[in-house]
Amino acid sequence: MYRTIFKPILDFLAALILLVFFSPIILISFLIIKFEDPDGPVLFKQKRLGKDSKEFRVFKLRSMKVSTHDKDGNELSDHERMLRSGALFRKLSIDELPQLLNILKGEMSFIGPRPLPIIYEPYYNDEERRRHNIKPGISGWAQVNGRNSITWEDKFKFDVEYVEKLGLLFDIKIALLTIYKVFAKSDVVVRGDSTNVDFHTYRKQQQNDR
């Protein structure tokens, strides 16, 4: 009953309250992004896989420059493209605040497996696909157990474990651990500096090594 009734209701009410509460921070963030890189949008939108592997567009504050090359035509790395404000937004998870809109739309939950790019879909095995049996979340069991510092196999193991154990007390535990890790700045890795390669590249390498 919690999974199908109470969790969606709590998600919607909490998202509505938090969207109002954080609206000044979101507005200020919009202005900072526009000031630092005026050519691009303030929101980053990308197709991700949601519940039952259905596609949806996830919202984030844009943390990288629109341009992928410098003035001389040289390709910029993710680290070089990172906005100064973007690095701070990621460390404090401010870039995730627009996902409150995804929760209000019923596409996401506060707690659940993180939504991943649709390009990954063909590379999951049957066990890993179980992570899509529920709505994706802003934070999840994998995120509080290492985030980018653990292997893809471990991430999916934690995701499936959450699907199996989903409940109110488990959600509260993950929420409290998330808050602690955000303020402790623990397990936060800028994407370009992550020890993990993209999942589809990682899985292809595994297949080639066999």
Instruction: State the total domains in the chain.
Output: 1
Please give the residue that has the higher pLDDT: either 180 or 17: 17
Task: Identify the burial level of 159 via C-beta atoms within 10 angstroms of its C-beta, where 0-12 means exposed, 13-18 middle and 19 or more buried.
Answer: buried
187 pLDDT higher than 70: no
Q: State pLDDT tens for residues 142-181.
A: 999 986 678 999 999 999 999 999 999 999 999 999 888 8
pLDDT tens track for 90-106: 888 899 999 999 999 99
Provide the pLDDT for residue 147.
67
**Whole-angstrom distance, CA of residue 17 vs CA of residue 91:** 23
**Owning domain of residue 178:** 2-209
Read off the pTM.
0.86
Q: Longest C-alpha distance within the chain, in Å?
A: 59
Return the DSSP state at 150.
S
Contact 110, 136 (CB under 8 A): no
Q: How many CB atoms lie within 10 A of CB 2?
A: 14
What are the φ/ψ torsions at residue 62 (nearest 5 degrees)?
-65, 130
